[in-house]
Amino acid sequence: MKSSEIIDAHKLLTRYATGERNFSGTHLIEACLKDANLNRINLSNAALQCTNLSRARLIGANLNGADLSQVNLSLSILVEANLSGASLTNTILRHADLSGVMFSGAILSQTDLSGANLTGASLISACLLNGCKLTNAILVGATLSRAILSGADLTGANLTRTILSEVDLSGANLSHVKLVRSHLNRGNLSGVNLNHADLSEASLRETNLCVANLTGVNLQGADLSGANLNGANLNGANLQDTNLKNAYLNGLNLQNADLRHADLTQANLRGANLSGANLGGATLLEADLRGANLSHANLTGAGLLLTSLKGANLTGANLCEANLIGASLSVVNLNEAALEGAILPNGATHA
């Protein structure tokens, strides 16, 4: 086909039926191809603005660099199609099957992917801008490394085992999403809403979670070593067995959080609110808890070796069987703190 050839829907379907597949660079604007079978078609660099392709079959189609602005692809099947570098401004992909699709370098703005199946899709370096909608989308095993999803709505999406290294999710809505065993290392999640999200066993090493809403989030077994959580809200969060080594947690709201057996080695918890938190069996070696609120916190059996607790509030805290060897306890409020069986800073065991 000649590059930039203008063609209508009837002519394209007729030629496709005779075996022609190469329609690269064609202009097919405002056409109706609803329910069309166009598997393996080559529409690379084609102009398809405002075309209706709802319920169309485009399995293995080549749409590399195509202009799909305002195209209706709802309920379409694009399994293993190539949309690398495509323009998808105001494109409708609701409940489309996009499993295994290549979106690398694609531009998505105001794109509606709600309920879409993106299992195993590649969105490396893709830009999902200006309120892209991915509510209840399935992104299991997808790759979104270095993708830009700032401000995107992923409420209720399933991102289990997804690769999101160095992703930009700043200000995005990830409420109630599943990110089990996903990789978000060195990602930018500042100001993100992860209310009641499931990030169990996820990897978030050196991730920026400043001012994030992590209320009720499940981070059991997750790796947050070196992560920055300054100003984040972790009220009621599950942090059992979580790795928080060298994490920045100063001023954090961890009220009533579950931190049993968490590793907080050298973590910065200065001024953090840990009132009512469960830190039973946690490791806080050389952690900075200066000025922290630990009132009524459970620190039973916790390791507080060489920990700085200057100015911390330990009123009503349970430190039974805790190890405080070398800890700094000067000017600490120990009113009503339980210390039975605790090993004190000087090595003596409290009666």
pLDDT at position 217 is 96
Instruction: Confirm if 149 and 129 have CB atoms less than 8 A apart.
Output: no
Question: At 103, phi and psi to the nearest 5?
Answer: -115, 10
274: nearest Cα among 227, 220, 319, 321: 319
**pLDDT mean over 45-74:** 98
- Is the predicted pLDDT of residue 40 greater than 80, yes or no? yes
> For residue range 96-123, what is the model confidence (pLDDT) as tens digits?
999 999 999 999 999 999 999 999 999 9
Return d(Cα 182, Cα 160) in angstroms, integer: 6
**Beta strands 107-109 and 127-129: pairing type?**
parallel
Model-level pTM? 0.88
Task: Choose the weakest-confidence range: 3-12, 161-170, 180-189.
Answer: 3-12
Averaged pLDDT of the chain: 94
Apex 175 CA angle, 224 and 161, nearest 5: 55
Return d(Cα 249, Cα 210) in angstroms, integer: 9
| Encoded tokens for 321 | 């069987």
| Encoded tokens for 174 | 């990830």
| Encoded tokens for 205 | 């090493």
Calculate the CA dihedral of residues 33, 37, 41, 47 and round it to 10 degrees.
10
Element (H, E) at 14: helix 9-17
- Is the predicted pLDDT of residue 2 greater than 70, yes or no? no
pLDDT at position 251 is 84
- Is the predicted pLDDT of residue 59 greater than 80, yes or no? yes
pLDDT at position 29 is 87
pLDDT at position 24 is 97
pLDDT at position 351 is 76
Apex 204 CA angle, 129 and 117, nearest 5: 50
pLDDT at position 329 is 81
**pLDDT mean over 186-200:** 98
pLDDT at position 3 is 60
Question: At 260, phi and psi to the nearest 5?
Answer: -60, 130
Domain ranges of the chain: 1-73, 199-350
Return d(Cα 190, Cα 212) in angstroms, integer: 6
| Encoded tokens for 125 | 């370096």
Per the DSSP assignment, residues forming a β-bridge with 273 are 253, 293
Task: Choose the weakest-confidence range: 36-40, 90-94, 158-162, 250-254.
Answer: 250-254
**pLDDT mean over 205-227:** 97
Cβ-based neighbours of 34, under 8 Å, separated by 6 or more: 52, 53, 54, 55, 56
Common-topology check for domains 1-73 and 199-350? yes
Sign of the C-alpha dihedral computed for residues 135, 223, 297 and 288 taken in this order: negative
Look-up of token digits 């660079």: 25
**pLDDT mean over 240-262:** 93
Return d(Cα 202, Cα 130) in angstroms, integer: 27
Q: What is the second-level CATH architecture of the domain 199-350?
A: 3 Solenoid (2.160)
Per the DSSP assignment, residues forming a β-bridge with 308 are 288, 328
Indicate the DSSP class of residue 129.
E
Instruction: Confirm if 126 and 103 have CB atoms less than 8 A apart.
Output: yes
Return d(Cα 219, Cα 70) in angstroms, integer: 39
- With H, G, I as helix, E, B as strand and everything else as coil, classify residue 283: strand
pLDDT at position 110 is 93
Q: Does domain 1-73 have CATH number 2.40.30.110?
A: no
Cβ-based neighbours of 53, under 8 Å, separated by 6 or more: 33, 34, 36, 71, 72, 73, 76
> For residue range 85-94, what is the model confidence (pLDDT) as tens digits?
999 999 999 9
**pLDDT mean over 304-310:** 95
Confidence bin at 5 (pLDDT 50/70/90) = confident
Return d(Cα 210, Cα 96) in angstroms, integer: 34
248: nearest Cα among 229, 273, 235, 231: 229
Which value, in Å, is the radius of gyration of the alpha carbons in the chain?
26
pLDDT at position 76 is 98
**pLDDT mean over 263-283:** 95
What percent of the chain has pLDDT above 90? 90
Confidence bin at 147 (pLDDT 50/70/90) = very high
pLDDT at position 1 is 53
Instruction: Confirm if 84 and 103 have CB atoms less than 8 A apart.
Output: yes
Return d(Cα 168, Cα 279) in angstroms, integer: 32
